[in-house]
């Protein structure tokens, strides 16, 4: 913002004159009374600066401030220690989404206008006490198929767990004895959980949110997730659970959309032709994926079971097993194609079809018997 640096000379002269007159003139003088009246009736405009926590999970906003016209205001610091899980406070902004004007703590506010300043948050890797590290996936865009006009736009960065959810993590949240994995196809509780259906996956997300005092993303009519038991989750098609809704503004855990999953698997690199997550065009899939037990491709897994999560190399974002090990559930209903053209991740079109017969699975598995996990 520009500051014109000018202060009204008339105001300065008036104040100096008034002080001189009050100290040298008879207080009952009509001239003095006239000057006093002038001072009382000329009001200098002021403007209120308020602060908004903008999604903070702790702390408090500074008190509102008053700016006097043509006089700089020193903006508040983060004196109330605002914090937000998975983010770093980086100052103030005139819009909630950070697209407006930035102001640092203690910066000069020079504009003669009232304003609400929102806490500006920069997303960073975060650690869950229950599922470990979650990596940042940045905003961006990519061509999703051979048609150059078909662009998917990830409008907002997000977190995703660096590993598939393990058997131990699943049981920690869902309760002792709830691990549905086929142990004959698993090397241990550090392997990804298997045999979870989509209903299990969204229940796990909500229960994980509850465990960490976050907002629940998913709603299912008649279901209280805080008291829901594993045995009460349907194991066959259920119309009530199929009608689950998502609160996209909630701060809790959820499944990635297919568009988000694709972008994360690509390593946030615009290259839909990548043969596997982590590929640079010359490296070998065997270093990055647990795959192909029943096949003949070089690098295939030689053990008829899943591997512990993170046993192979990560992709460019530090995400493991985005190709292979076990399948991963997405939010979307399955559709054979996307609409043509540009699709934005924060719109209904970016979150998949409105209905369908099954939900999307991504990532593939070392062999079909190993079932599904969630990321």
pLDDT tens sequence across 88-107: 999 999 999 999 999 999 99
Asked if the model's pLDDT at residue 167 lies above 60, the reply is yes
- pLDDT averaged over the chain? 87
For the residues 42-55, what does the mean pLDDT come to? Answer: 94
For the residues 346-354, what does the mean pLDDT come to? Answer: 94
Tell me the pLDDT band of 298, cut-offs 50, 70 and 90: confident
Token digits of residue 339: 């609409």
pTM tops 0.75: yes
Length of the chain measured in residues: 375
Q: How far apart are CA 248 and CA 262, in angstroms?
A: 19
Q: Smallest Cα–Cα separation from 367: which of 280, 284, 305?
A: 305
Place of tokens 């930035």: 102
pLDDT of residue 331: 98
Extract long-range pairs of 34-37: CB within 8 Å, 24+ residues apart. none
> What does residue 290 show for φ and ψ, rounded to 5 degrees?
-90, 110
pLDDT of residue 29: 53
Q: How far apart are CA 284 and CA 364, in angstroms?
A: 17
pLDDT of residue 171: 98
Say which range, 237-241, 304-308, 328-332, has the weakest mean pLDDT: 304-308
Buried b (16+ CB within 10 A) or exposed e, 182-192: eeebbeebbbb
Cα 367 off chain centre by = 33
Could you give all domains of the chain from N- to C-terminal order, each with its CATH number? 1-43 (no CATH), 45-123 (2.60.40.4270), 127-374 (3.90.1580.10)
Tell me the pLDDT band of 233, cut-offs 50, 70 and 90: very high
> What does residue 367 show for φ and ψ, rounded to 5 degrees?
-160, 155
pLDDT of residue 236: 96
Tell me the pLDDT band of 294, cut-offs 50, 70 and 90: confident
Place of tokens 């994926």: 289
Say which range, 72-76, 297-301, 311-315, has the weakest mean pLDDT: 297-301
């Amino acid at each position: 913002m520009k500051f014109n640096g000018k202060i009204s000379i008339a105001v300065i002269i008036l104040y100096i004159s008034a002080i001189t007159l009050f100290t040298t003139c008879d207080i009952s003088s009509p001239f003095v009374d006239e000057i006093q009246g002038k001072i009382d009736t000329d009001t200098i405009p002021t403007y209120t600066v308020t602060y908004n926590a903008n999604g903070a999970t702790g702390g408090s906003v500074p008190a509102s401030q008053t700016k006097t016209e043509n006089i700089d205001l020193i903006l508040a610091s983060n004196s109330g220690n605002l914090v937000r899980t998975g983010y770093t406070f980086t100052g103030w902004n005139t819009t909630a989404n950070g697209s407006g004007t930035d102001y640092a703590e203690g910066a000069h506010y020079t504009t003669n206008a009232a304003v609400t300043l929102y806490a500006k948050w920069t997303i960073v890797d975060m650690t869950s006490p229950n599922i470990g590290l979650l990596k940042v996936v940045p905003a961006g865009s990519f061509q999703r198929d051979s048609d150059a006009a078909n662009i998917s736009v990830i409008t907002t960065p997000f977190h995703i767990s660096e590993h598939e959810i393990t058997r131990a993590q699943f049981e920690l949240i869902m309760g002792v004895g709830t691990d549905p994995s086929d142990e004959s196809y698993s090397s241990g509780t550090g392997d990804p959980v298997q045999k979870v259906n989509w209903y299990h996956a969204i229940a796990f997300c909500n229960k994980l949110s509850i465990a960490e005092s976050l907002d629940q993303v998913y709603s299912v009519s008649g279901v209280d997730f805080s008291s829901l038991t594993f045995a009460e989750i349907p194991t066959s098609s259920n119309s009530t659970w199929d009608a689950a809704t998502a609160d996209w503004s909630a701060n809790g855990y959820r499944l990635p959309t297919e568009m988000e999953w694709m972008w994360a698997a690509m390593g946030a690199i615009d290259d839909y032709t990548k043969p596997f997550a982590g590929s640079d065009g010359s490296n070998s899939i065997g270093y990055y994926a647990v795959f192909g037990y029943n096949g003949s491709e070089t690098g295939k897994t030689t053990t008829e079971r899943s591997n512990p999560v993170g046993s192979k190399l990560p992709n460019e974002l530090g995400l493991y097993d985005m190709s292979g090990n076990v399948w991963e559930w997405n939010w979307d209903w399955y559709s054979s194609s996307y609409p043509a053209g540009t699709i934005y991740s924060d719109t209904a079109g970016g979150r998949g079809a409105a209905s369908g017969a099954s939900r999307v699975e991504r990532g593939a598995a070392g062999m079909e018997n190993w079932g599904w996990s969630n990321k």
